[in-house]
Structure 1
Amino acid sequence: MIDVRVLRDDPQAIRAAQERRGESPAIVDDLLAADERRRSSIAAFEELRAEQKRLGKLIPAAEADEKQALLAKTKELSAEVKAAETQQNESAAAFEELLKAVPNVASPDAPAGGEENFTTIETHGTLRDFAAEGFEPRDHLELGELLGAFDTERGAKVSGARFYYLIGVGAQLELALVQLAMQRAAEWGFTPMIPPSLVGPEAMEGTGFLGQAADDVYYLPKDDLYLVGTSEVPLAAYHGGEILDAETLPRRYAAFSPCFRREAGSYGKDTRGIFRVHWFDKVEMFIYTTVEESYAYHERLLEWEKQWLDDLELPYRVIDTAAGDLGLSAIRKFDCETWLPSQQRYREVSSTSNCTDYQARRLNTRVRTAEGTVTAATLNGTLMASARTIIALLENHQQRDGSVVVPKTLRPFLGGREVLEPLGEST
């Protein structure tokens, strides 16, 4: 949630952020009005409760007639106190619900507008000239079939559209990527973790995924549990309700987990292959720190993601995501997009977001400092999303005969294999 003090002290900053996101700033006025009703109801309840206590103290020493009058007045006040308490609770609940609907205050540095209004920050690597090499690049589905790397037809038969099997070198490639990613993360100071992929509503709501992203979430009503779309959720909830000592920060975790997304609203998009699927595995980096330090760590997360793509010898660009394309919790997000030869465009493979104190306030995660206790800040960054990383590797490192060159950093995790050969060829 946003800080209520910001709402009261600088509502215009929130209005401006809403406009940069392309959303109505009217919710700010609604929220201010709800806050006033909440505060007024608290004051009314406390005033009546104080009067009730005052009269209660007078009754033991009062004479008979006076005592009866005091008792009658106390009974009357009791009903008023009860009504005022109900009004206070209802006003607080209405304010809380409205407050949770307001996204984090988008950074003034984030480009205004929607999905297409991003800014390209930098571009890395050289795009291969396949025409000069004498062949037309295959897409990842063709390459996967040649290599026997995955099976989308049987995935659909067993589980439905947008599911798949990773097979043979496909499964080996994912396991190699996971091992390399976790090794890199450990080298950078992250604690490896395998978190649960089912979480309760408090964790899902606390991270902001039951807001604008609710339609993309798989829910198990019988158990009141949610399948996570990213391990950001259990990582953000890991220290929920705790007070962390400032001396222990930053706390860095790198989690491997399966991720599940309904992909609501994506009907007809990226239906070929395994680019947009309902399940994939991911290695996610997550940091707990202070708001003041969060901006520098956001830049560091981006540098680590870039280093990872450099390790995989992939051409990519970095974009500054527009405010209207930010998630509910983020104030700013950088995306890393790799070049896909078959599509002749860059596509997202990872991102990093600074959520400042938005998620931590919802989850009640705080930091004990010399000046007092403050709300923590959280950041997240994808290191490896299996399906899209595999796609980028196959398409960018393919050869004329359908074989795929393995990047040098990945070879030790594939038994030293330098090339993935089509089925029927020597391996």
Structure 2
Amino acid sequence: MIDAKLLRQDPDRIRASQRARGESESLVDEAVVADETRRTAIADYERLRAEQKELGKLVSRAQGEEKAELLAQTRDLAAAVKAAEAAQTEASAAFDGLVAQIANLVDPAAPIGGEDDFTVLETHGEPRDFAAEGFEPRDHLEIGRGLGAIDMERGAKVSGSRFYYLTGQGAELELALINFAMAQAIGNGFRPMIPPALVKARAMEGTGFLGQAAQDVYYLPNDDMYLVGTAEVPLAAYHSDEILDVTTLPLRYAGYSPSYRREAGSHGKDTKGIFRVHWFDKVEMFVFCDPAEADAEHQRLLQWEKEFISALDIPFQVLDVASADLGLSAARKFDCYGWLPTQGRYREITSTSNCTEFQARRLNIRGRFAGGTAPVATLNGTLCAIARSIVMILENHQQADGSVRIPEVLRPYLGGRKFLTPDA
């Protein structure tokens, strides 16, 4: 949620941010009017309540006809107070509804534009020259089937399209990635968490996932609950309605959870294999910090993501995501794209976002700072999206005989083996 004070004092800044995102600027105008209406309604209600209290004092001292007359005024005033309270409630709800639709302010450093207007900040590693090695690379699904690691057919039979089973060495590889990711996170000072994957509407709304991303959310109407698309949601809501001790900041959590996404807008995209699926497991980093430290913390999250991908020996690029592709909550976002040999291009495998105080305002998470109580900043970063990491490992480390070289950092979690080998 944007700062209501900023809306009143500098609406042009918010309009410029909406324009950079390709979102409605008129929404800001509507919110400004709604704020004025709300503040007027609050003032009217408070004035009438003050009159009601004063009248109550007079009634307690009056007698006879004077008291009867004052009691009649009290009844009339009570009706006016009730009407003013209802008007205040309605005006506040209208304002909240409008403000909830306004996205976080875009960081001035973010590139302006749409999905394809990102800036490539860094490139790490060199893609393998398979032609020089004398064979054509196979895609991850063919490799996974040969290893007995991925079963799409039975996934579709049991759950439908874009579902899968990881079997044998595939399941072992996932567990190795989870353990390595968690070990790295713990080593970097994160508190490990296994959060719930079902949450109430408050958590989804507070993190911004019932806005632009609502079409990809799984909803259980009988329970009024949502399946999370990322551990970011329950981790962000963990401290909702709390005042944090600022001496303990930053609070860093690493959550492992399943992630569920309808992928409603991706029909026909990446339909083969496990790159874009309805369910996958993920290790997510989440941080609560002093807003003054948010930019530096964002760089730390990115660095930890880069270290993780580098440890898996996957060539990758770091992208500065453009303004219209940030999503509702992020002020700035960096994506890491890993090299996919069979597609001859880089594809997204991790992301980290600085959400400034936007989510904390929506979830009422504050700190008691020197200048008073104020919202903290929140940041998130994917350390390991398991399915896509498996895709990248299988394709980048495949061998001509159908085996796959295991990155050295994962070998301790796989019994010291150096290769995944085809099923006999």
Q: Same fold by TM-score, threshold 0.5 exceeded?
A: yes
> Which piece of structure 1 moves more, 246-255 or 364-373?
364-373
- Distance in 2 between residues matched to 1:288 and 1:47, nearest whole Å: 39
- Distance in 2 between residues matched to 1:267 and 1:234, nearest whole Å: 28
- Distance in 2 between residues matched to 1:373 and 1:87, nearest whole Å: 29
Q: Does 1:381 align with 2:343?
A: no
Q: Show the counterpart of 2:230.
A: 230
- Distance in 1 between residues matched to 2:155 and 2:346, nearest whole Å: 27
Q: Show the counterpart of 1:122.
A: 122
Q: Show the counterpart of 2:351.
A: 351
- Cα offset for 1:52? 2.3
- Distance in 2 between residues matched to 1:81 and 1:341, nearest whole Å: 69
Secondary structure of 1:182 counterpart: helix
Secondary structure of 2:66 counterpart: helix
Secondary structure of 1:330 counterpart: coil
Alignment of 1:19-418 (within 5 A): 19-62=19-62, 64-418=64-418
Deviation by residue 1:199-224 (Cα, 9 ceiling, x = unmatched): 11111111111111111111112222
Q: Give the letter aligned to residue 296 of structure 2.
A: A
- Distance in 1 between residues matched to 2:251 and 2:43, nearest whole Å: 40
- Cα offset for 1:307? 0.4
- Cα offset for 1:74? 2.2
- Cα offset for 1:401? 1.8
> Which piece of structure 1 moves more, 222-231 or 84-93?
222-231
- Distance in 2 between residues matched to 1:370 and 1:37, nearest whole Å: 33
Secondary structure of 1:296 counterpart: helix
Secondary structure of 1:236 counterpart: helix
User: What number of residue pairs does the alignment pair up?
Assistant: 424
Q: Give the letter aligned to residue 122 of structure 2.
A: E
Secondary structure of 2:402 counterpart: coil
Q: Give the letter aligned to residue 273 of structure 1.
A: G
Q: Show the counterpart of 1:6.
A: 6
Q: Show the counterpart of 1:15.
A: 15
Q: Give the letter aligned to residue 197 of structure 2.
A: S
- Cα offset for 1:267? 1.0
- Distance in 1 between residues matched to 2:347 and 2:208, nearest whole Å: 25
Secondary structure of 1:115 counterpart: coil
- Distance in 2 between residues matched to 1:331 and 1:60, nearest whole Å: 56
- Distance in 2 between residues matched to 1:393 and 1:60, nearest whole Å: 81
- Distance in 2 between residues matched to 1:357 and 1:134, nearest whole Å: 53
Secondary structure of 1:136 counterpart: coil
| Unpaired stretches in structure 1, ≥5 consecutive residues | none
Q: Give the letter aligned to residue 133 of structure 2.
A: E
Secondary structure of 1:101 counterpart: coil
- Distance in 2 between residues matched to 1:129 and 1:159, nearest whole Å: 38
Q: Give the letter aligned to residue 275 of structure 1.
A: F
**TM superposition outliers: structure 1 runs of 4+ over 6 Å:** none
Deviation by residue 1:280-305 (Cα, 9 ceiling, x = unmatched): 00001111101110100000100000
Secondary structure of 2:349 counterpart: strand
- Cα offset for 1:63? 5.4
- Distance in 2 between residues matched to 1:62 and 1:125, nearest whole Å: 87
Deviation by residue 1:131-181 (Cα, 9 ceiling, x = unmatched): 222211111111111111110011000000000000011000000000111
- Cα offset for 1:372? 2.1
> Which piece of structure 1 moves more, 363-372 or 78-87?
363-372
- Cα offset for 1:72? 2.4
Secondary structure of 1:117 counterpart: coil
- Distance in 1 between residues matched to 2:163 and 2:220, nearest whole Å: 19
Secondary structure of 1:116 counterpart: coil
Q: Give the letter aligned to residue 240 of structure 1.
A: S
- Distance in 1 between residues matched to 2:206 and 2:35, nearest whole Å: 21
Secondary structure of 1:36 counterpart: helix
TM-score by length of 1: 0.97
Q: Give the letter aligned to residue 297 of structure 2.
A: Y
- Distance in 1 between residues matched to 2:55 and 2:128, nearest whole Å: 85
- Cα offset for 1:9? 1.6
- Distance in 1 between residues matched to 2:371 and 2:103, nearest whole Å: 28
- Distance in 2 between residues matched to 1:79 and 1:149, nearest whole Å: 71
Deviation by residue 1:235-263 (Cα, 9 ceiling, x = unmatched): 00111111111111111111111111111
TM-score by length of 2: 0.98
| Unpaired stretches in structure 2, ≥5 consecutive residues | none
